[in-house]
Amino acid sequence: MRPNYTKIYEDMLKQDYPDKLKDPKILTLLKKLNTTEDVLKFNDKLFEQSRESQQNNQKLKTYDKKTMLKLLQYQKKHEFSTSYMSRKYKISRTTLAKWKKMFEEEINETKNADT
């Protein structure tokens, strides 16, 4: 069972930042929280974080399968190196390599379907 990110953020905003719930842009984004990627983007837009805080939070990030595949397909489509993807998305090269190994068949199926 997946967490209801919309409800989590609504409750958090009601309690700590009720003024942000009046912003129509935030309300629109709030309703579109489906993937880990959506949640991360929403969180970045909602809250400014210090560099130190970002580094500490990076260690605790998790990604759902859909987001992992999306990143790997993006990398393959644009022929980006693992080092580039690692820097751009702040994911270790080791993690990206592990994902590639885990989802190798699914990435190849997508490639074959595109041709």
- Domain end point (choices 43, 58, 73): 58
Within this chain, do residues 35 and 71 fall inside the same structural domain, yes or no?
no
Distance, in Å, from the CA atom of 59 to the CA atom of 54, rounded to the nearest integer, reads 9
Confidence at residue 11, expressed as pLDDT on a 0 to 100 scale = 92
Within this chain, do residues 31 and 73 fall inside the same structural domain, yes or no?
no
Confidence at residue 49, expressed as pLDDT on a 0 to 100 scale = 62
Within this chain, do residues 13 and 51 fall inside the same structural domain, yes or no?
yes
Distance, in Å, from the CA atom of 73 to the CA atom of 110, rounded to the nearest integer, reads 8
Residue 113 has pLDDT above 70, yes or no: no
Number of domains in the chain: 2
Within this chain, do residues 30 and 47 fall inside the same structural domain, yes or no?
yes
Confidence at residue 44, expressed as pLDDT on a 0 to 100 scale = 78
Q: Domain range spanning residue 89?
A: 65-114
Within this chain, do residues 45 and 75 fall inside the same structural domain, yes or no?
no
Question: Average pLDDT over the chain, rounded to whole?
Answer: 83
DSSP 5-19: HHHHHHHHHHHH-GG
- Domain end point (choices 58, 76, 97): 58
Confidence at residue 42, expressed as pLDDT on a 0 to 100 scale = 84
SS3 80: coil
Within this chain, do residues 9 and 24 fall inside the same structural domain, yes or no?
yes
* Its pTM surpasses 0.75: no
Confidence at residue 115, expressed as pLDDT on a 0 to 100 scale = 54
Least confident of 21-30, 96-105, 106-115: 106-115
Q: Which residue has the higher pLDDT, 110 or 29?
A: 29
Within this chain, do residues 34 and 54 fall inside the same structural domain, yes or no?
yes
Confidence at residue 96, expressed as pLDDT on a 0 to 100 scale = 93
Helix 93-102 vs helix 82-89: angle between axes, to the nearest 10 degrees? 110
Within this chain, do residues 72 and 99 fall inside the same structural domain, yes or no?
yes
Within this chain, do residues 46 and 13 fall inside the same structural domain, yes or no?
yes
Name the token pair of 77: 């489509």
- Span 88-110, pLDDT tens digits: 888 889 999 999 999 888 877 76
Distance, in Å, from the CA atom of 33 to the CA atom of 8, rounded to the nearest integer, reads 10
Within this chain, do residues 30 and 75 fall inside the same structural domain, yes or no?
no
Q: Which helix (H) or strand (E) holds 41?
A: helix 36-46
